[in-house]
Amino acid sequence: MKQAGIEEGREVLVSILRACSREGDVEEAERAWLKLLSIDGNLPTQAFVYRMEVFAKVGEHMKCLEIFREMQERLGCATVAAYHKIMEVLCQAQDMELAELLMQEFIESGMKPLMQGFIYLMNMYLYLNLHDKLKSAFSACLETCQPNRTICNIYLDSLVKSGDLDKAEETFNHMYRDKVVGVNTRSCNIILKGYLSSGDYMKAEKIYDLMCQKKYDIESSLMGKLEYVLSLTRKEVKKPVLAYWYMYGGHRTSSKDILLKLKGSREGVEKVVKTLKAKSLNCRVKGKGNVFWIGFLGSDSTWFWKLVEPYILDDLKDFLRAGDQSWGNNAVETQNISFDDGSDSDEPASEYIDIDNS
């Protein structure tokens, strides 16, 4: 610049710091900073932020905090942009103690807006699976900020990951009804993942319909399970789909009966049962709340196994062929399920779902 006859005044030096912040050029940034210090007048607030960004690029979050404190000392206070930047840096470094301290300081400063700081903090909690802390941060955010879609999506994601699907559904529905917040591709993929993971295929289908209507992309990791859902509810049930269902949501009792778990409404389960019967798969159903077990009993279980065995993974065949075997908690869940009372044996498909209200 000197060779071109350009004076390195305050504005030029700030521009140099901005360029250094993109590249992480510490040496050139410090040269420009020292030059700024030698110029009479107040230091530009943005220069501190750019300098923090330079050291954040090279992973020195404590140096960033040092620059933030220097800003407070030299100027009397930090700016909102500086608070946002230091929160971003500390949360990316997962320095939870310092991040929480700075967020509390930010809140007490009375400065606005606080939203971006809460977003950084909650994203850190989400990454660390600290769902109780995230919930508390979300509550604090609601006390001081107008919620937006980004912050609600983080909270929704936390609810799904922590297994609180009822609250997740309530939150999603609230977002959907709120014209200011609304839902987007991420919102729908989060709740879709929750429904699929919990086996609530009927609700998953409704979200799928919504996403098709809105032309939202579905995450590739969900497509396999989703195709299984649609096969269950919309088309003739195919043998590979039944095999997948048995491997990941089934249980074989000590008496060799086969039980398949399904979550949803009574009407939705009846639809699945009718589809199974259309494939000559006779079954009976027991349900409690929104959880149902479809039972293939006696010779029907033998017929079911013959249909699905070719599609069962080789490593699982012996395991699933044996009696009283299942994945996860299915064995515990089915301990009180009994199909021996005969109360529903001769009823038509639309009437023989036996609901256990105990």
Is the model's pLDDT at 48 over the cut of 50? yes
Question: Which of 81 and 331 is assigned the larger pLDDT?
Answer: 81
Model pLDDT, residue 171: 98
Is the model's pLDDT at 51 over the cut of 80? yes
Tell me the average pLDDT across 55-81: 97
Is the model's pLDDT at 200 over the cut of 80? yes
Tens digit of each residue's pLDDT (9 = 90 or more) over 102-138: 999 999 999 999 999 999 999 999 999 999 999 999 9
Q: 268 to each of 65, 191, 201, how far by Cα in Å?
A: 56, 19, 9
Model pLDDT, residue 347: 37
Is the model's pLDDT at 221 over the cut of 90? no
Model pLDDT, residue 289: 79
Tell me the backbone φ, ψ of residue 117, rounded to 5 degrees.
-65, -45
Q: How confident is the model at residue 205 (pLDDT cuts 50, 70, 90)?
A: confident
| Pairing mode, strands 284-288 and 353-355 | parallel
The three state secondary structure string of the chain is: CCCCCCCCCHHHHHHHHHHHHHHCCHHHHHHHHHHHHCCCCCCCHHHHHHHHHHHHHCCCHHHHHHHHHHHHHHHCCCCHHHHHHHHHHHHHCCCHHHHHHHHHHHHHHCCCCCHHHHHHHHHHHHHCCCHHHHHHHHHHHHHHCCCCHHHHHHHHHHHHHCCCHHHHHHHHHHHHHCCCCCCCHHHHHHHHHHHHHHCEHHHHHHHHHHHHHHCCCCCHHHHHHHHHHHHHHHCCCCHHHHHHHHHHHEEECCCCCEEEEEECCHHHHHHHHHHHHHCCCCCEEEEECCEEEEEECCHHHHHHHHHHHHHCCHHHHHHHHCCCEECCCHHHHCCCCCCCCCCCCCCCCCCCEEECCC
Question: Which of 356 and 307 is assigned the larger pLDDT?
Answer: 307
Is the model's pLDDT at 265 over the cut of 50? yes
Question: Which of 114 and 9 is assigned the larger pLDDT?
Answer: 114
Nearest to 282 by CA among 346, 356, 355: 346
Question: Which of 323 and 207 is assigned the larger pLDDT?
Answer: 207
Q: What percent of the chain has pLDDT over 70?
A: 82
**CA–CA distance, 224 with 246 (Å, rounded to integer):** 15
Tell me the backbone φ, ψ of residue 29, rounded to 5 degrees.
-65, -40
Nearest to 211 by CA among 197, 196, 198: 196
Domains in the chain, please, with CATH?
147-235 (1.25.40), 236-355 (3.10.28.10)
**CA–CA distance, 169 with 346 (Å, rounded to integer):** 37
Tell me the average pLDDT across 176-202: 93
Q: How confident is the model at residue 342 (pLDDT cuts 50, 70, 90)?
A: very low
147 neighbors 114 (Cβ within 8 angstroms): no
**CA–CA distance, 90 with 61 (Å, rounded to integer):** 6
